[in-house]
Structure 1
């Protein structure tokens, strides 16, 4: 998932993301700070990204 996250959020650093694994609020705070977003914008971006990722996973598990 990191490569797609890095593509969408270019200022992410792997080490920082890895250290925040499981810390949703921490990740949102980091995203807001590193991408000049408000907390609300960052939260919405994360929710949208996770929704997109769930669609990727669903498509991958149901090949036609």
Structure 2
């Protein structure tokens, strides 16, 4: 599974997908929360009316999905 550091390396592409999944994210807040997973999860909980545990599970799910996308992209390049 991708970890948070790998996910946040490419803010532009990853953030665009995160914004589609979590539409209440605000661009101006990302500099202060994006590089710290716990801070991002707390922010996500607040912006989407979730508990911190629910936000954590959403982030886990997002990481899993991103890993699958990453693997598919690499498999397509290998062909």
How far apart, CA to CA, are the structure 1 residues paired with 2:18 and 2:66? 9
- Structure 2 gaps of 5+ residues are 1-13
In the alignment, structure 1 residue 40 sits paired with structure 2 residue 30: no
Length-normalised TM-score, structure 1: 0.90
- Measured in 2, the distance between the counterparts of 1:18 and 1:61 equals 29
Runs of 4+ in 1 over 6 A off after TM superposition: none
Structure having the larger proportion of residues in helix: 2
Higher relative contact order (CA 8 A, sep 6+): 2
Match of 1:4 in 2: 17
TM-score using structure 2 length: 0.74
Runs of 5+ in structure 1 lacking a partner? Answer: none
Say how many residue pairs are matched: 64
How do 1:9-28 residues align onto structure 2 when only pairs under 5 Å count?
9-28=22-41
Separation in 1 of the partners of 2:43 and 2:20? Answer: 16
Residue 66 of structure 2 corresponds to which residue in structure 1? 53
Aligned counterparts of 1:5 and 1:12: Cα–Cα separation in 2 = 8
